[in-house]
Amino acid sequence: MVYSEENIQDLKDLRKKAESVINTNSNEVLNEITEYLHEQDSKEIIKELKLHQVELEMQNEELRRTQSELKKTQAHYYDLFEKAPVGYLKLDKNGIIEEANSASTKILQVEKNKLIKQPLNRFVDFYDQDKYYFTRRKSLETGEKQVCELRMVGRVESDDELWVQMEIKPECVVLIDISERKKLEKIEKTFNEYKYRADKFESFGVMARGIAHDFNNYLAVLLANLSYIIQYKNKPDKISKNLNNMEMVINKAKDITKKLQILARGEEPIKEVSYVNEIINDSAYLAFNNTKITSNIMLPDDLYPVKIDKEQIYQVFYNIFFNATQAMPEGGTTWVKGENIYLTEKESQNIVPLPEGDYLKITITDNGPGITDENLQKIFDPFFTTKAEGSGLGLSTAYSIIESHEGCIKAESEKNKGTSFIIYLPAHES
């Protein structure tokens, strides 16, 4: 059967009325439909509409089931959100809190209605505002999670500081209470400070005993030689050797006094811009001359210039090289490597206690017997030595000199596998 455009429009209108028939069982509308259609056509259309109705009912049932599951899922995720062990804050693009879970109110000890619609930075401690601002800005710029540790305000029941680890994303923030950890770190830091002071007092005791022992020996030598000179004062040819001995002892005492002065910061370095290549080569030659030690020095020509007291830095390298000769009396090998490096903020926090920036790094390694862990902790202490002879001031003096040059010196060693000294000096900005 072929329908005109007018018939087709009529059929569309009739289809709507037919749908109404199915839903309302209206005989009146059904009669109106049959006026325009043959009986067989009307049955086919009604059958089609009934099938369509069944499809719609099935779709509605699926929709109702999906809505029910969605509500369950929403309830489930709300429970997860609300009962999460960490604080969770949903923020708008301006950092205003839109939602807050129970853990966040518990951590901050602020009621939920006093959190909602408030800027998060209102609850950040005044001294950490900049850190929060820059961390959130970085998260917004990169779209990635950024983590920082901040002090917060809000806790009123305790005088302890409220610390949180804050995981910041553009649309939300996770809060983890780390106050207890920070409290323990503070206690540990205080303990370590007291222990450091106690160790320093012990070190000063060792130093005092060392000074007394050395100067007593020097005085004994001076007195013995002086007695001999008095006895033979009219025989100059017999006392010249004794005078030389006295001069040698006085110079040794003077050398210890100079080292003590450096340790006590009594002798400020006279700095000038220089390169360390020549200083290292000269001090290595002097220390290893007439020994069985082989020295391999690898210093590029483009090493950074540094602002140093050349005499003091010479003493640093000489003391380290001389220490190697004492550690390897039967001979061995040393390696000296120089390089330009840039310390990142992370490296400056975790590797060496120096500001971020450009540094000259010198590494001196030997293949000697190494140092035990116990002795390695004391290696820079004044008058600490494992040698039968020696003042124990060489490495402590080197440590003080490098520190006065705003650098850092570290020692690494493993028993029977050698020792390394690593020196960092700030590069001079030309």
- Say yes or no to pLDDT of 379 above 90: no
- Say yes or no to pLDDT of 11 above 60: no
390: amino acid identity, one letter: G
Mean pLDDT of 323-327: 87
pLDDT given for residue 276 in this prediction = 95
Tokens representing 240 are 């010249």
Cα(8)–Cα(152) distance, rounded to whole angstroms?
72
pLDDT per residue as tens digits for the range 383-419: 666 564 555 567 888 888 898 899 999 999 888 889 9
- Say yes or no to pLDDT of 426 above 70: yes
Distances (CA, A) of 36 to 15, 44, 371: 12, 14, 109
Q: Which of 13-22, 107-116, 192-201, 390-399 has the lowest mean pLDDT?
A: 13-22
Beta carbons of 58 and 66 less than 8 angstroms apart? no
Mean pLDDT of 236-241: 79
Q: Which of 159-163, 361-365, 380-384, 417-421 has the lowest mean pLDDT?
A: 380-384
pLDDT per residue as tens digits for the range 194-233: 766 666 566 556 556 666 777 788 888 888 888 888 888 8
Cα(204)–Cα(296) distance, rounded to whole angstroms?
37
Mean pLDDT of 349-362: 86
404 CB burial (10 A radius; 0-12, 13-18, 19+): middle
Cα(286)–Cα(423) distance, rounded to whole angstroms?
20
Cα(384)–Cα(364) distance, rounded to whole angstroms?
21
Label residue 47 by pLDDT band (50, 70, 90).
confident
The long-range contacts involving 25-34, CB below 8 angstroms and separated by at least 24 positions, are: none
Q: Which of 87-91, 186-190, 344-348 has the lowest mean pLDDT?
A: 344-348
Beta carbons of 111 and 95 less than 8 angstroms apart? no
Phi then psi dihedrals of residue 57, to 5 deg: -65, -40
Mean pLDDT of 116-128: 91
Tokens representing 157 are 């029941």
Cα(304)–Cα(426) distance, rounded to whole angstroms?
9
pLDDT given for residue 261 in this prediction = 61
Q: Which of 310-314, 335-339, 424-428 has the lowest mean pLDDT?
A: 310-314
Helices (H), 328-416: 345-350, 373-376, 394-404
Domain boundaries, the chain: 5-81, 87-177, 182-250, 272-426
Mean pLDDT of 227-241: 81
> What is Dmax (Cα atoms) for the chain?
159
- Say yes or no to pLDDT of 109 above 80: yes
Mean pLDDT of 147-173: 82
Phi then psi dihedrals of residue 353, to 5 deg: -80, 65
- Say yes or no to pLDDT of 420 above 90: yes
Burial 52-88 (b: 16+ CB within 10 A, else e): eeeeeeeeeeeeeeeeeeeeeeeeeeeeeeeeeeebb
Tokens representing 186 are 């503070």
Cα(395)–Cα(385) distance, rounded to whole angstroms?
10
Tokens representing 84 are 């999460």
Q: What is the DSSP letter of 176?
A: E
Distances (CA, A) of 410 to 84, 172, 345, 396: 45, 43, 19, 12
pLDDT given for residue 110 in this prediction = 87
Distances (CA, A) of 153 to 76, 156, 412: 31, 8, 43
pLDDT given for residue 1 in this prediction = 44
Give the distance from CA 88 to its chain's centroid: 26
Q: Which one is the CATH code of 87-177: 3.30.450.20, 3.40.50.150, 3.40.718.10, 3.40.50.300?
A: 3.30.450.20
pLDDT given for residue 327 in this prediction = 87
- Say yes or no to pLDDT of 244 above 80: yes
Please tell me the number of Cα atoms within 13 Å of 407 on its side-chain side: 26
As a dihedral over the C-alpha atoms of residue 77, residue 82, residue 87, residue 88, rounded to 10 degrees, the angle is 50
Tokens representing 234 are 């009219």
Q: Which of 97-111, 142-156, 261-275, 395-409 has the lowest mean pLDDT?
A: 261-275
Tokens representing 166 are 């804050």
- Say yes or no to pLDDT of 2 above 50: no
Average pLDDT over the chain reads: 79
Label residue 337 by pLDDT band (50, 70, 90).
very high
Mean pLDDT of 238-259: 78
Of 374, 416, 382, residue with least CA distance to 399: 382
Helix (H, G, I), strand (E, B) or coil at 25: coil
- Say yes or no to pLDDT of 160 above 60: yes
Bin 197: left if φ > 0, else alpha if -120 < ψ < 50, else beta.
alpha
Q: Which one is the CATH code of 272-426: 3.90.228.20, 3.40.50.300, 3.30.565.10, 3.20.20.70?
A: 3.30.565.10
Of 90, 95, 104, residue with least CA distance to 129: 95
Q: Is the pTM of this model over 0.85?
A: no
